[in-house]
């Protein structure tokens, strides 16, 4: 049946279109697909000139088959019996050639388009490179400025005297042995902790933290390496923009339009993320001095970084599918910047003034105020580094003018420069500093003694030392009282420094009740004047016990020991109540040269340990206090 249908189709085809015309159509199709030149080349190659021009349809079909198959088709001229079969096979070959040519042309177009696109990008890159290499921005002025900068950079000052005298080992940090041990225990560990350092300025907080990292690097069990950095910043000067235009601490993104990312990025609209100090400190320590002054919002952002150990960046201009975005920028936007570091914050504020959330993530270390002997030792160490000889009494004299180690070193450095200038001495030779040199420099700088130490008599009427505290600094408060019988009995007056504050006033009136109980005298019969020497403000009731003793001394004309300092609130019943700042107050008494400090019984546990140059006793009531201060 199939052979019959094929035979009928062929017969029908032959009746509609003559065979010679069909062969001409095939040849024309081949020329259209392959090209007239290709067809002619194949005719010559396979020696088909006579066959292709022959009137014999069998020879013409033979030639067309050879052209299409590139010589691989039939090897003999078709006969009448197999003509139709060869015709169909030749037609199929032509169809295959047409399909192949179509696909090749399509691929060629796509390749050409891709090459054109790549070529355009390459041309743009070449243009940018040429622009960068152009010297059009250079001119005579810019070249001269560059030469000036290079010339300036050749000149180097010697190491600053502050850097020279800065402690380089824990042994050079004076008076902070306990704090140093505490820092090391928290840093030199397989699991180092964030720390907040409390203490007055100039006692070595920053130096101790820096040296602690260097010591931790030497230990195998710590996570710190030789590459671990100590990145230092001051919280008082750290500024940032809430819109995240700039944030030197955490980092920020410079958008291509408003903030001006680099030229090669902005031309393609690519935002430029810039990492901050937290990433620079990755693997090391970020030290923030005066961390209590850091903006509250920025503190909260810092807490987030401490939790995540990374900084996230975002920008409306970032397109992850943009081929112009460099890989490092994609990495930062998609993964964030690493920020795994140990935070050490230092502050002169009270713990209660620090962000509670920040405190909860940090351990706390307290630096002690320096004593006069500590300052003296610092001066002696600095003199050794400067290679100078000090006249006797100079360290003690300088210690009267400051309680800060840094300030003491600066005073000595001033005197050192003054002596070298006046004597025209060679700095390589050992210079000698006299007491007169120190006195002259202190006078020039208009410095006054921090606390004047006078040769007080052992006993004195109406004169008592109280104790006060401001921040981390304790000091003595000099109180004096004068009592006279009133001109009219029952109409006596009480006067005191108004600048001392309401607490001082309350303490005076509390003392009146206690005085009446102790002495059986009514202060209304007397004119009483209480004076706080220097007019300092009393923020709390801690001067109550000292005021009471001072008035009683003047009222009864009983001398008071002058080597004693008193702190404690006085109650109406004569109880000496607990007060704050005991630790700092004791150090303030030591600076004054006080030999005995009397504190409320409930405060005795707050007294510093290992005190060799001062004694601290506790009292419970005014009677116990009087037994001590009125006894020579």
Sign of CA dihedral 74, 75, 76, 81: negative
Other Cβ atoms closer than 10 A to 19: 16
Any idea which residue has 């054109």 for tokens?
A: 116
What gap in Å lies between CA 527 and CA 531, rounded to an integer? Answer: 13
DSSP category for residue 75: S
What gap in Å lies between CA 193 and CA 342, rounded to an integer? Answer: 7
Coil/strand/helix, residue 19: helix
Query: What are 618's two structure tokens?
Result: 């506790």
Concerning whether 553 is annotated as a catalytic residue, the answer is no
Helix axes 372-386, 405-423, angle to 10 degrees: 40
Annotated catalytic residue, options 66, 186, 377, 585: 585
What gap in Å lies between CA 30 and CA 220, rounded to an integer? Answer: 82
What gap in Å lies between CA 342 and CA 278, rounded to an integer? Answer: 10
Ranges assigned E (strand) in 216-320: 230-234, 251-254, 272-275, 285-289, 310-311
Q: 528 Cβ partners below 8 Å, 6+ apart?
A: 481, 482, 483, 492, 493, 494, 495, 551, 554, 555
Among 501, 474, 625, CA closest to 551: 625
Are 562 and 586 in contact by the 8 Å Cβ rule? The answer is: no
What gap in Å lies between CA 609 and CA 238, rounded to an integer? Answer: 38
530: β partners: 481, 496
Concerning whether 605 is annotated as a catalytic residue, the answer is no
The H or E element containing residue 561 is strand 559-561
Query: What are 510's two structure tokens?
Result: 């509390």
The H or E element containing residue 377 is helix 372-386
What gap in Å lies between CA 270 and CA 273, rounded to an integer? Answer: 10
Query: What are 155's two structure tokens?
Result: 């000149």
Annotated catalytic residue, options 542, 553, 554, 592: 542
Helix axes 36-45, 19-34, angle to 10 degrees: 110
Any idea which residue has 């040199």 for tokens?
A: 437
Task: Provide the annotated active-site residues.
Answer: 542, 585
């Amino acid at each position: 049946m199939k052979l019959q249908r094929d035979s009928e189709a062929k017969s029908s085809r032959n009746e509609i279109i003559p065979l010679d015309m069909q062969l001409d159509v095939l040849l024309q199709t081949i020329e259209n697909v392959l090209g007239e030149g290709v067809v002619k080349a194949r005719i010559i190659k396979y020696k088909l000139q006579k066959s292709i021009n022959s009137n014999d349809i069998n020879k013409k079909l033979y030639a067309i088959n050879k052209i299409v198959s590139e010589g691989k088709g039939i090897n003999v001229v078709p006969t009448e019996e197999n003509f139709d079969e060869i015709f169909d096979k030749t037609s199929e070959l032509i169809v295959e050639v047409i399909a192949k040519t179509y696909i090749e042309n399509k691929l060629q177009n796509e390749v050409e388009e891709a090459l054109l696109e790549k070529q355009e990008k390459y041309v743009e890159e070449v243009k940018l490179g040429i622009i960068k290499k152009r010297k059009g921005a250079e001119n005579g002025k810019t070249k001269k400025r560059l030469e000036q900068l290079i010339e300036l950079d050749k000149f180097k000052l010697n190491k600053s005297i502050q850097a020279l005298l800065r402690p380089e080992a824990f042994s050079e940090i004076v008076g902070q042995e306990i704090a140093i041990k505490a820092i090391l225990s928290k840093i030199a560990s397989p699991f180092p902790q964030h720390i907040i350092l409390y203490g007055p300025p100039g006692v070595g907080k920053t130096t101790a933290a820096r040296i602690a990292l260097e010591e931790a690097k030497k230990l195998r069990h710590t996570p710190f390496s030789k590459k671990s950095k100590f990145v230092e910043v001051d919280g008082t000067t750290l500024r940032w923009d809430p819109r995240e235009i700039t944030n030197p601490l955490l980092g920020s993104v410079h958008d291509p339009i408003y903030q001006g990312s680099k030229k090669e990025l902005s031309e393609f609209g690519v935002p430029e993320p810039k990492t901050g100090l937290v990433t620079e400190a990755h693997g090391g320590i970020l030290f923030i001095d005066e961390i209590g002054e850091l903006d509250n919002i920025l503190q909260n952002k810092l807490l987030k970084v401490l939790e995540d150990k990374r900084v996230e960046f975002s920008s409306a201009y970032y397109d992850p599918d943009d081929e112009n975005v460099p890989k490092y920028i994609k990495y930062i936007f998609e993964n964030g910047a690493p920020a795994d570091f140990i935070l050490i914050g230092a502050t002169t504020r009270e713990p209660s003034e620090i962000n509670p959330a920040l405190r909860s993530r940090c351990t706390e270390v307290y630096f002690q105020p320096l004593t006069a002997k500590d300052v003296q030792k610092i001066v002696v160490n600095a003199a050794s580094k400067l290679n100078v000889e000090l006249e006797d009494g100079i360290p003690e004299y300088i210690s009267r003018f400051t309680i800060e180690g840094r300030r003491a070193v600066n005073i000595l450095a001033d005197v050192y420069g003054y002596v070298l200038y006046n004597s025209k001495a060679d700095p390589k030779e050992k210079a000698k500093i006299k007491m007169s040199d120190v006195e002259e420099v202190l006078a020039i700088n208009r410095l006054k003694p921090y606390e004047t130490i006078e040769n007080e008599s052992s006993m004195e009427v109406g004169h008592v030392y109280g104790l006060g505290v401001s921040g981390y600094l304790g000091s003595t408060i000099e109180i004096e009282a004068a009592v006279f019988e009133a001109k009219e009995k029952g109409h006596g007056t009480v006067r005191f420094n108004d600048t001392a504050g309401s607490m001082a006033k309350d303490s005076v009136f509390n003392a009146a009740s206690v005085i009446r109980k102790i002495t059986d005298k009514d202060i209304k019969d007397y004119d009483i004047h209480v004076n706080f020497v220097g007019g300092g403000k009393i923020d709390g009731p801690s001067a109550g016990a000292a005021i009471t003793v001072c008035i009683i001394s003047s009222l009864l004309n009983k001398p008071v020991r002058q080597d004693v300092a008193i702190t404690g609130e006085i109650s109406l019943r004569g109880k000496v109540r607990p007060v704050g700042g005991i630790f700092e107050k004791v150090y303030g008494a030591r600076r004054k040269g006080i030999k005995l400090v009397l504190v409320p019984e409930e405060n005795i546990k707050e007294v510093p340990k290992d005190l060799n140059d001062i004694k601290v006793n506790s009292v419970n009531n005014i009677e116990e206090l009087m037994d001590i201060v009125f006894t020579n």
